[in-house]
Amino acid sequence: MASKAHFVVVLSILSLFACSGNAQLSANFYATSCPNLQTIVRNGMRTAVTTEARMGASILRLFFHDCFVNGCDGSILLDDTATFTGEKNAGPNQNSARGFEVIDTIKTSVEAACSGVVSCADILALATRDGVVLLGGPSWTVPLGRRDARTASQSAANSQIPSPFSNLATLTSMFAAKGLSARDLTILSGAHTIGQAQCQFFRNRIYNETNIDANFAATRRANCPASGGNSNLAPLDTLTPTRFDNNYYRDLVARRGLLHSDQVLFNNGSQDALVRTYSTNGATFFTDFAAAMVRLSSISPLTGTNGEIRKNCRVVN
Ligand code: HEM
Ligand SMILES: *[C@@H]1O[C@H](CO)[C@@H](O)[C@H](O)[C@H]1NC(C)=O
Ligand SMILES: *[C@@H]1O[C@H](CO)[C@@H](O)[C@H](O)[C@H]1NC(C)=O
């Protein structure tokens, strides 16, 4: 009896740890096994962002799409083959997700310094933080120790990554399914302060919607025709798309959100007050974004002996 009660207590404590998500990740995971890791990743990202500032945004989005599909496990990095269907050709990623070669280049440098030790999932997590910092955003300590998936799921990528045509209720429930709050949704959508989107994702908004600034809609229509030009790009942040700042929220308050899924955060709903706060207080946004990125990066990691340390981020060992 006593030993059974003891067992139950131990189990409860163990499951408490499991629930906290990043209990097994730690900032100094590679301190002895790959002491130069953070410098190598930072240098790789500095080169990439200097070549093309948008790359900081593209890597940030890759990480989001990795974490929302079975956790931050590098699954998005796997290539399709004749016998393996990955996530790269899922609807939200095909002809849209970019930056894979940047992760390959960094992985090559990391392997040269510490072979077979660092996961692709952790490299992507660090590269994401560094891209944000290099574009002027906040920094955060990245919990490490994720391992790489040996599987991927195109169907989960299709159903679990939110669409730009979603309403607030749908976005909220898709984030809730990943253990993230409506507040996290609003905070993390601030990632749209950097980067670009294709005409096909905002066409309906600029031609058909009414909660939009008229001058802004007219300007965007000039490079996004009612038909054709599907891949023509426009900045998600009207003024500073290569600067990580709080202009995204100023845009929302001015009804200049580019995607339908952006403007729903400021449309007389539950997130209006938070959007207003961030629109006038960049420091609060930075603090909250950094903390929310740690929560995003802690979604169901593979740890211990689960998964593997991939040699090449594009293929399972
Ligand atoms: C809330 C639901 C979200 C939806 C519906 C959404 C949707 C989109 C869409 C449609 C694009 C443009 C893709 C293209 O035109 O090829 C985009 C770009 C982007 N998204 Fe999101 N997104 C969401 C949340 C997030 C989050 C949480 C992050 C990161 C924390 C993020 C980071 C980015 C970045 C940085 C870009 C620009 C990428 C580039 O320029 O290459 N998004 N998003
Ligand atoms: C505007 O909405 C109508 C009705 O839903 C749709 O048929 C049309 O394609 C939309 N126009 C654009 C440019 O998206
Ligand atoms: C919010 O509601 C007010 C009053 O009903 C309206 O004037 C305004 O346009 C609405 N704002 C948005 C962003 O829909």
Domains of the chain by residue range? 24-161, 168-295
Write the CA distances from 45 to 39, 127, 294, integer angstroms.
Answer: 10, 6, 19
The verdict on the CB of residue 267 being under 6 Å from ligand 3 is yes
pLDDT beyond 50 at 148: yes
pLDDT beyond 70 at 216: yes
Give pLDDT tens digits for 225-265.
999 999 999 999 999 999 999 999 999 999 999 999 999 99
pLDDT beyond 70 at 15: no
Q: What is the CA radius of gyration of the chain?
A: 20
pLDDT beyond 80 at 11: no
The verdict on the CB of residue 210 being under 6 Å from ligand 3 is no
The verdict on the CB of residue 15 being under 6 Å from ligand 3 is no
Query: To the nearest 5 percent, what fractions of the chain are helix, strand and coil?
Result: 50, 5, 45
pLDDT beyond 90 at 21: no
What superfamily would CATH give domain 168-295?
A: Peroxidase, domain 2 (1.10.420.10)
pLDDT beyond 90 at 2: no
Distance between Cα 233 and ligand 2 center (Å): 20
Closest-approaching ligand to the CA atom of 230: 1
Q: Record the pTM.
A: 0.93
* Among 262, 268, 271, 275, residue to substitute to test ligand 3 (most atoms within 8 Å of Cβ): 268
Residue with CA nearest ligand 3 atom 12: 267
Residue with CA nearest ligand 3 atom 10: 268
Centre a 10 Å sphere on the Cβ of residue 11 and count the other Cβ atoms it contains.
Answer: 10
Report the distance separating Cα 247 and Cα 262, nearest Å.
Answer: 13
Return mean pLDDT, the chain.
Answer: 94
Task: Answer yes or no: 192 catalytic.
Answer: no
pLDDT beyond 50 at 134: yes
At residue 5, the pLDDT reads: 45
Q: Which CATH number fits domain 24-161: 3.10.620.30, 1.10.3720.10, 3.40.50.300, 1.10.520.10?
A: 1.10.520.10
